[in-house]
Amino acid sequence: MDILIKTYYRPHLLDRCLRSIYERIIDVKQIKITILDDGTPQKYLDKIKEKYPEVYFKFSDWREEKIEKIEKHLQGIERYQDTRIPTDLWYNAIAESSDILIITEDDVWMCDDFNMHFYTKEMEKYNIHILKLGRDLTETINYPLTGTINYHNPKYFFKSEKLYRMLLNNSFKLRDRLSAVGLLPKYWRNELWKMYDIPMAMMRKDYLLYIWRDKFKRVVEDLQLANAVSWDMKTKGNTKYTLMKDRVMDFTARSSASFNSFNIEDHFDLVRFNYILNELWYEGKFDSYENFPEDFSVDYIYGILLENENKSFADKWKKWTEGFIEMHKSS
């Protein structure tokens, strides 16, 4: 049984993620945990390995190059810019994993107890291809499957994989035209998200590989949703898309690994932000479990930035995190 954790230059969060896994996953001693790193300096990973000696590491082809780019950014030589994501690393790790796995990210943690082997058997029994472990944001009706699992299958407003692919790509401005004449249901995209969720889900390997089959070097969620539609129509709706009745995973809205987001108002420097927290964590001065199992408190991080940077930087971060929360509410 496998858990894969995608990470990039946020060991202060990876520590929280790993600690929660070892504390909350009941059968963790029977599970292989692999870190998929895309650009974290070795000294941080050495400390992670020291704290969690059982974990394995796999690295992207661009790891050293990205570490160098981060260093140049911090030195003021050139601003960080790199939109590539290590899809080959992720895809190959999934292909080599167990038939059912959890793939998550460093900014996610277990917030309640969970037995992975038990729910693997439940997934096999009920032909479940995705079991969401976080909260449901699809604004839909969920139906009970077991005492702890709900299910919700997508409702299509036309039964055509080709048309959905055109809609998601906005080919021939189809999406714009349907919206303009009021023929596009408000929550049509949420229906598709019933079939997909990377950071907080337990999934079948074959399903995940099908969704990621294009292996783009950047995140193309609409393409992945189109592949999910393709899978569902190919299997004629026999696949079950499910979620836990009570969430067992949560994520932080206090940080981001999308370091290219400098077009956010006030140009908040996420590279610098993560560097500050990483260094404090490395020195034992950052509590990676602060406010657990809830998200880090705003006052805690704000105070750290006041003390270790300046008020302007702390204020920009506070404004950024408030915007980040609103963005996720509307997504």
Tokens 């880090």 -> residue: 296
Q: What share of the chain is helix, strand, coil (3-state, %, to 5)?
A: 45, 15, 40
Question: ∠ at Cα 261 (199, 269), nearest 5°?
Answer: 110
* Pick from 149, 234, 154: nearest CA to 194: 154
Strands (E) across the chain are located at 2-7, 32-37, 56-59, 100-105, 108-110, 128-132, 143-144, 149-151, 201-204, 240-244, 249-251
pTM: 0.94
Going by their DSSP bridges, the two strands 149-151 and 240-244 should be labelled as: antiparallel
pLDDT digits (tens, 9 = 90+) for 163-175: 999 999 999 999 9
* Pick from 32, 17, 31, 74: nearest CA to 292: 17
Structural contact between residues 35 and 48, judged by C-beta atoms closer than 8 angstroms: yes
Which range is least confidently modeled, 32-41, 68-77, 128-137, 264-273? Answer: 264-273
Tell me the average pLDDT across 20-35: 98
SS3 96: coil
Tell me the average pLDDT across 208-236: 85
* Pick from 306, 277, 311: nearest CA to 107: 277
Q: Measure Cα distances from 303 to 183, 300, 313 in Å.
A: 49, 5, 11
CA–CA distance, 132 with 145 (Å, rounded to integer): 13
Please give the pLDDT value at position 315.
95
Give the whole-number percent of the chain exceeding pLDDT 70: 94
* Cβ atoms within 10 Å, residue 87: 17
Which range is least confidently modeled, 13-27, 110-124, 182-196, 317-331? Answer: 317-331
* Pick from 41, 62, 3, 93: nearest CA to 217: 62
Q: Supply the mean pLDDT for the chain.
A: 92
Please give the pLDDT value at position 221.
84
Within a 13 Å sphere around the CA of 220, how many CA atoms are in the beta-carbon half?
Answer: 18
Please give the pLDDT value at position 257.
82
pLDDT digits (tens, 9 = 90+) for 78-136: 999 888 889 999 999 999 999 999 999 999 999 999 999 999 999 999 999 999 999 77
Tell me the average pLDDT across 43-50: 99
Please give the pLDDT value at position 262.
46
- Model confidence at 263, pLDDT cuts 50, 70, 90, reads very low
Tell me the average pLDDT across 257-269: 65
CA–CA distance, 146 with 93 (Å, rounded to integer): 31
Please give the pLDDT value at position 259.
66
Would you put residue 274 in left (φ > 0), alpha (ψ -120 to 50) or beta? alpha
Q: Which residue has the higher pLDDT, 263 or 68?
A: 68
pLDDT digits (tens, 9 = 90+) for 280-303: 999 999 999 999 999 999 999 999
Give the whole-number percent of the chain exceeding pLDDT 90: 74
| 32 CB burial (10 A radius; 0-12, 13-18, 19+) | middle
CA–CA distance, 310 with 313 (Å, rounded to integer): 5
Which range is least confidently modeled, 21-25, 213-217, 268-272? Answer: 213-217
CA–CA distance, 312 with 322 (Å, rounded to integer): 16
Tell me the average pLDDT across 140-146: 88
Q: Is residue 331's pLDDT more than 60?
A: no
Tell me the average pLDDT across 43-51: 99
* Pick from 189, 200, 230, 42: nearest CA to 135: 200
Domains plus CATH for the chain? 2-110 (3.90.550.10), 122-247 (no CATH), 253-330 (no CATH)
Edge to edge, the sheet with strand 56-59 lists 56-59, 32-37, 2-7, 100-105, 201-204, 128-132, 240-244, 149-151, 143-144
CA–CA distance, 14 with 92 (Å, rounded to integer): 21
Tell me the average pLDDT across 211-221: 75
Please give the pLDDT value at position 260.
56
Going by their DSSP bridges, the two strands 108-110 and 249-251 should be labelled as: antiparallel
Which range is least confidently modeled, 19-28, 43-52, 209-218, 313-322? Answer: 209-218
The letter for the amino acid at 327 is M
Tell me the average pLDDT across 51-76: 97
